[in-house]
């Protein structure tokens, strides 16, 4: 199975052909499948394939308007090889920088082998590129054991919208609607929801069709996620495809009743998907907050320690996915995520209110965490209106400061005493994470 990753950018990888020979260059794959979806260029990495070579594309284009620029290829060939196959060494930096000046682009340097905001550097000027590549490569090597990096065009204030897809071995590929992932810190998602408040039905249909087409072009078999960035003007751009379930897959399950892990097992067994596209529909609204052991007030510094008190919320429409309990040690060797708090309600406004209550009830002591910060974000006017993008936190610096209205930890301990009495003999509040609702059996 190929691993498909085509980020936004000034370049693209296509199948091997004669340089400058559009007839044999192998362009008619993902581009034709997306049928007019803007790619804004892009580097496509088809891992485990040796029959690829770099070709220069227009920096902004439609998939049905691919135009090779072979005259540029010699100037950036060495640098493009560096970015595409991860050879860290000497390359013609000055020639590559000159090509970037001509393109007038801001760029992101990103890790090939990872995600979650690690191994990423913003390049505002070509002179910053060399240091950005070196720094991103070092971070990627330390985080993922893979120092390869690539570049993509940087869009300053888009929304981040992803579509869940499922493909079986019988050629059936469906999408399971979108997830809104624009609330981020350091390029990493912290709050997700579905449906997205930004998508009208027509735009949702177009993006869903593009996601399915991208998966079909790769003959994809499994659960996966096709990610887009959406500009305020309604144009969307193909970002990348993640060949796995995402952290935030639970909100899709909550609104569709479809067990995505079960679907993966059916696919692995060679069986058909349990639903067709026409049989899928969403009901209500779901939001997920990622609970991290980190300090938002100190630039999201990760915290370590032992979980002394762990009292998660419960009740109708609340789901918790977590791997910790009282006594768990939170170290620095792994991502600082402690839990995923998911709520469902009949409307977005109701889901926001339910999440606010659930966060207020969530008690984690022993390691500093972002629970109060998440409550401030969910309670903000910009979030409530749904008119936000990936620059949300840059426009809301006050959210990074603890409010005097936040409930102090001591008050939370007192409030949890009754619950401690009723659960002291069990050691756990739930026998498993599904007992807070019957959604999984729907």
Question: Based on the domain organization, do 339 and 281 belong to the same domain?
Answer: yes
Question: Based on the domain organization, do 227 and 291 belong to the same domain?
Answer: yes
206, with CB counted inside 10 A (0-12, 13-18, 19+), is: middle
Number of structural domains found in the chain: 2
What would the DSSP string read from start to end of 68-121? B-HHHHHHHHHHHHHHHH---S---HHHHHHHHHHHT--EEEEESS--TTTT-E
> In whole angstroms, how far apart are CA 221 and each of 77, 207, 244?
33, 20, 11
CA distance 422 to 431: 15
Q: Is the dihedral of CA 138, 141, 144, 146 positive or negative?
A: positive
Question: Based on the domain organization, do 86 and 164 belong to the same domain?
Answer: no
> In whole angstroms, how far apart are CA 391 and each of 189, 199, 287, 382?
12, 18, 19, 12
Across the chain, how many H-helices and E-strands are there? 13, 21
Examine the pLDDT at 92 and tell me if it is beyond 80. no
Examine the pLDDT at 278 and tell me if it is beyond 90. yes
Question: Based on the domain organization, do 91 and 49 belong to the same domain?
Answer: yes
Cα 364 to its chain centre, rounded Å, is 26
pLDDT of residue 431: 39
> In whole angstroms, how far apart are CA 135 and each of 97, 106, 114, 238, 388?
17, 17, 15, 26, 30
Question: Based on the domain organization, do 108 and 244 belong to the same domain?
Answer: no
| 405 contact partners, CB below 8 Å, separation of at least 6 | none
Question: Based on the domain organization, do 140 and 289 belong to the same domain?
Answer: no
Which of 42-46, 159-163, 251-255 has the least mean pLDDT?
42-46
Question: Based on the domain organization, do 147 and 30 belong to the same domain?
Answer: yes
Domain that holds residue 15: 4-153
pLDDT > 70: percent of the chain = 66
Q: Is 388 helix (H, G, I), strand (E, B) or coil?
A: coil
Question: Based on the domain organization, do 96 and 194 belong to the same domain?
Answer: no
pLDDT in tens, 106-152: 777 878 776 667 888 888 887 888 888 889 889 988 888 888 777 76
Examine the pLDDT at 184 and tell me if it is beyond 70. yes
CATH number at residue 22: 3.30.1490.20
User: Last residue of a domain, which of 134, 153, 172?
Assistant: 153
Q: Is the dihedral of CA 193, 199, 205, 210 positive or negative?
A: negative
pLDDT of residue 406: 55
| 162 contact partners, CB below 8 Å, separation of at least 6 | 178, 179, 181, 225, 226, 227, 228, 246
pLDDT in tens, 42-51: 333 333 333 3
pLDDT of residue 412: 53
User: Last residue of a domain, which of 153, 181, 200?
Assistant: 153
User: Last residue of a domain, which of 113, 137, 153?
Assistant: 153
Q: Is 132 helix (H, G, I), strand (E, B) or coil?
A: helix
pLDDT of residue 56: 28
Residue of 156, 204, 216, 244 marked catalytic: 244
- Here the tokens at position 60 are 């902004």
CATH number at residue 415: 3.30.470.20
| The length of the chain, given as a count of residues | 442
Is the link from the previous residue into 352 a cis peptide, with omega within 30 of 0? no
CA distance 30 to 208: 15
347, with CB counted inside 10 A (0-12, 13-18, 19+), is: exposed
Question: Based on the domain organization, do 214 and 265 belong to the same domain?
Answer: yes
Decide: 220 and 242 in contact? Cβ < 8 Å: no
Decide: 15 and 54 in contact? Cβ < 8 Å: no
Give the ranges where 328-424 is alpha helix by DSSP (H). Answer: 348-361, 371-379, 381-385, 392-395, 409-415, 417-423
Decide: 312 and 269 in contact? Cβ < 8 Å: no
Decide: 107 and 149 in contact? Cβ < 8 Å: no
- Here the tokens at position 93 are 């930096």
154, with CB counted inside 10 A (0-12, 13-18, 19+), is: middle
- Tokens 């500009």 found at: 231
Active site residue 244: yes
Which of 20-29, 170-179, 228-237, 288-297 has the least mean pLDDT?
20-29
Question: Based on the domain organization, do 120 and 202 belong to the same domain?
Answer: no
Nearest to 161 by CA among 116, 107, 207, 124: 207
Model confidence at 200, pLDDT cuts 50, 70, 90, reads very high
Question: Based on the domain organization, do 149 and 165 belong to the same domain?
Answer: no
Examine the pLDDT at 26 and tell me if it is beyond 60. no
Residue 133's CB: how many other CB atoms inside 10 A?
A: 23
Question: Based on the domain organization, do 61 and 166 belong to the same domain?
Answer: no
CA distance 401 to 395: 13
pTM: 0.69
| 253 contact partners, CB below 8 Å, separation of at least 6 | 259, 260, 439, 440
Helix axis angle, 93-103 to 129-144, nearest 10°: 100
Examine the pLDDT at 192 and tell me if it is beyond 60. yes
Nearest to 22 by CA among 66, 52, 58, 64: 66
């Amino acid at each position: 199975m190929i691993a498909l990753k085509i980020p936004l950018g000034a370049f693209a990888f296509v199948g091997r052909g004669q340089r400058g020979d559009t007839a044999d260059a192998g362009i008619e794959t993902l581009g034709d499948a997306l049928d007019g979806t803007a790619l804004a260029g892009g580097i496509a990495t088809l891992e485990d394939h040796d029959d690829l070579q770099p070709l220069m594309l227009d920096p902004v284009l439609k998939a049905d308007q691919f135009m090779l620029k072979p005259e540029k290829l010699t100037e950036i060939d060495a640098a493009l090889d560096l970015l595409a196959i991860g050879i860290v060494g000497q390359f013609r930096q000055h020639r590559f920088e000159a090509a970037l000046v001509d393109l007038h682009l801001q760029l992101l340097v990103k890790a090939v082998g990872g995600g979650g905001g690690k191994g990423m550097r913003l390049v505002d000027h070509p002179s910053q590129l060399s240091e950005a590549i070196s720094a991103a490569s070092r971070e990627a090597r330390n985080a993922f054991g893979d120092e390869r990096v690539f570049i993509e065009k940087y869009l300053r204030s888009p929304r981040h919208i992803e579509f869940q897809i499922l493909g079986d071995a019988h050629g059936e590929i469906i999408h399971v609607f979108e997830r809104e992932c624009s609330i981020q810190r350091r390029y990493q998602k912290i709050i997700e929801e579905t449906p997205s408040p930004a998508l009208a039905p027509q735009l949702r249909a177009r993006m869903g069709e593009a996601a399915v087409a991208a998966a079909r072009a790769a003959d994809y078999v499994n659960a996966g996620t096709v990610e887009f960035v959406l500009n305020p003007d309604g144009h969307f751009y193909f970002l990348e495809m993640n060949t796995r379930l995402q952290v935030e897959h639970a909100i899709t399950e909550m609104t569709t009743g479809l067990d995505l892990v079960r679907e993966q097992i059916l696919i692995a067994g060679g069986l058909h998907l349990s639903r067709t596209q026409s049989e899928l529909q969403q009901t209500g609204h779901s939001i997920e907050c990622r609970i991290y052991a980190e300090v938002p007030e100190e630039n999201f510094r990760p915290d370590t320690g032992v979980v002394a008190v762990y009292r998660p919320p419960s009740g109708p429409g609340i789901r918790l996915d977590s791997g910790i309990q009282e006594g768990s040690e939170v170290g620095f060797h792994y991502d600082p995520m402690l839990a995923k708090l998911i709520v469902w309600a009949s409307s977005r406004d109701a889901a926001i209110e339910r999440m606010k209550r659930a966060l207020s009830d969530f008690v984690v002591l022993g390691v500093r965490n972002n629970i109060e910060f998440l409550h401030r974000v969910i309670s903000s006017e910009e979030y409530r209106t749904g008119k936000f993008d990936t620059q949300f936190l840059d426009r809301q610096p006050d959210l990074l400061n603890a409010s005097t209205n936040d409930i102090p930890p001591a008050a939370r301990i007192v409030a949890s005493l009754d619950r401690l009495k009723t659960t002291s003999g069990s050691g756990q509040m739930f026998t498993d994470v599904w007992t807070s609702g019957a959604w999984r059996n729907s």
